Amino acid sequence: MTEDFDVRLVEDVKTYTPDPQYRKNAWMGDYQKAYNEFLADPDAFWEKIAKELDWISPWDKVKEWNYPYARWFTNAKLNITANCLDRHVNNHRRNKVALIWRGEEGRERIFTYQKLLSQVARFANALRKIGVKKGDCVCIYMPLVPEQAIAMLACARIGAIHSVVFGGFGAAALNMRIQDAEAKVVITADITIRRGKAIQLKAIVDEAVINAPTVEHVVVLRRRDPLVDLHEREMDFYEMMEGMSDDCPPEVMDAEDPFFILYTSGSTGKPKGIVHTCGGYMVGTYYTCKYVFDLKDNDIYWCSADPGWITGHSYIVYGPLAVGATVFISELTPDYPDAGSFWSMIAEQKITIFYTAPTAIRMFMKMGESWPDKYNLSSLRIIGSVGEPLNPEAFEWYYRVIGRQKCPILDTWWQTETGMLMITTVLGEPMRPGFVGKAIPGVVADVVDKDGNSVKPGTGGLLVIKSPWPSMLRTVYHDDERYRKYWETIKGMYTAGDLAVKGKDGYIMILGRADDIIIVAGHNIGTAEVESALVSHHAVAEAAVIGKPDPMKGNSIKAFVILRVGNEPGDNLKQDLLHHVRTTLGAIAVPHEIDFVDKLPKTRSGKIMRRVLKAQEMGIDPGDISTLEE
Ligand code: PRX
């Protein structure tokens, strides 16, 4: 953790006040009123929300808090898919569109709630048939196609724990995740399509399952003609569904049964398997979709993330479907076939709520307003942002050009660990560029010093959450000590690992990570993960990795490498190292710069002082270097 968080803030930020209609028509209503209602009786607040959903049997207690362990909706029974699918099919949304998918080449696929339920039930039955049971882990490594959501929902239907791995990860990263979660089945596709090119996904899986003894089956969605050959233990996604009933009784899940594992980067080389449970996660994502995103029956909602990240779990699949929304998904990239691809989708589909990341917004800014200006974006009523700080310039551009000075921006702060969004400026409240806003009703957030004392307005510190919330992580898979660290770094509070500044009116500005995690284009990358990928190359003796501010991606990755004796630095070796990181960890973790060095700054106990490297790189004061070795 960095020691210097004495950040002073200039408070001359312009405030944007949304049309009062937003507050008047919003599910949340008045923010302060809702927040006070929560504070008056937190359990009653969450109970009221939980009661909007279907449960097989109710809870004994809303919450049991045995620091640092929380149990929510104790002893209640449920299945989230009964809420995401059956609840709508059995009511008035049977023929409502649940999912619209667009491929790069213009193909469109539409699933009504009834059709989605049938597909999920058939695939769930197929998984049961090959022996997948409640509590088994299934790894999903797929492109952004409807089958990815169907696979997730099918696991949820039968109580299998899914671990979705983003399709951009490389073979070593995938293998580590399969092994750690002891996945019994891996679900993949032959290819993913990106900017007109087919990327061989299955080839990566072939390599990743070599040292994965728990894997019994690999299920392959074959998208391409001619169909790829399947070998021993491999099965075709749709052939498995043939002859399967579209009736699949949902597994009865306890509210505290594990629901899914999702890996996120940590300060060590080993990613953390964040464990979420069934009941609290369902309530948290449903609540925020309905009351913060204000999803209504006639909305067409597009979150441009991938379900391989938590944003996709919570705000493409489970939350919006629990609310009964129409969700648009697509394999499109923002700059292919041209810089108008996203805007043409918004205009064509009449998207009303659009949720994306600051890196994408900065890329749109660079490509120029003439692109969005070509399209009619008047259907948009709310625009959102997540994953990294939305700088004031990007806020203003997004507000003016995409939101046409009318749409409120929901800049939402949250994490894989929190399951649901936690801090934002809810509809109707004044927006302040650079600040995410305040804790939503249901959440108690603060900025504190190292000892946990609340900092004065205008001062920086660590972002903390002061009381448990339903969709919080319950543990780190196979590593509960890492879980406890979140709550024990500052006694009694959840330390998010972010540096933040408290504005004079309680609004919070997020500055970035306080630890060795680099957020590159909104993706969490552990410095230690990249370092171990580099060191696994035969030519590398030691490596140190830092994040450098980048105007487009938020941060870029810079690596310092010491070569083993007998290896000469040079461009070819650099390219080889980059290729090595790409194939092991994945494209998202590839360093933007590599410097070959003879020495790295270390403490006397041998720990690399990345802080010193970063200060040198940026020409700033390295701070306390008394522990630096001679
Ligand atoms: O540093 C914060 C940043 O992303 C981290 C969490 O990353 P991940 O678990 O991958 O989840 C990302 C999507 C929820 C946080 O610790 N972050 C997330 N949202 C924001 C943000 N930083 C600033 N502003 C945000 N809105």
CA gap 630, 628 in Å, rounded: 7
Which of these three, 206, 233, 254, is where a domain ends?
254
Q: How far is the CA of 353 from the centre of ligand 1 (A)?
A: 20
pLDDT at 105: 85
* Omega prior to 337 cis, within 30 of 0: yes
User: 588 in a domain, yes or no?
Assistant: yes
**Where in the sequence is the domain holding 212, given as residue range(s)?**
108-254
User: 141 in a domain, yes or no?
Assistant: yes
Q: How far is the CA of 465 from the centre of ligand 1 (A)?
A: 14
CA gap 583, 577 in Å, rounded: 10
First to last CA, the chain: 23
Which residue's CA is minimally distant from atom 22 of ligand 1? 388
pLDDT at 606: 81
In DSSP notation, 484-513 reads HHHHHTTTTSEEEEEEEEE-TTS-EEEEEE
Q: How many domains does the chain have?
A: 2
CB proximity list for 468: less than 8 A, separation 6 or greater: 63, 65, 70, 72, 494
User: 61 in a domain, yes or no?
Assistant: no
User: 122 in a domain, yes or no?
Assistant: yes
Strands in 551-626 per DSSP E = 554-563, 593-596
pLDDT along the chain (630 residues), means of 10: 44 83 96 98 98 98 98 98 98 97 94 98 98 98 98 99 96 96 98 94 97 97 96 96 98 98 89 97 99 98 97 98 98 93 97 97 96 98 96 96 98 98 97 96 97 93 98 98 97 96 92 91 91 94 94 95 95 97 94 95 85 90 77
pLDDT at 2: 38
User: 603 in a domain, yes or no?
Assistant: yes
Cβ of residue 306 lying under 6 Å from some atom of ligand 1: no
Which of these three, 254, 273, 299, is where a domain ends?
254
Which residue's CA is minimally distant from atom 18 of ligand 1? 387
User: 389 in a domain, yes or no?
Assistant: no
Q: Outline where 26-100 has alpha helix (H).
A: 31-40, 42-50, 80-81, 87-89
User: 493 in a domain, yes or no?
Assistant: no
pLDDT at 5: 43
Which of these three, 220, 254, 288, is where a domain ends?
254
Pocket test for ligand 1, best of 1, 261, 356, 413 (most atoms within 8 A of CB): 413
Residue 202 belongs to a domain with what CATH number? 3.40.50.980
Q: How many whole angstroms from its chain centre is CA 73? A: 24
User: 399 in a domain, yes or no?
Assistant: no
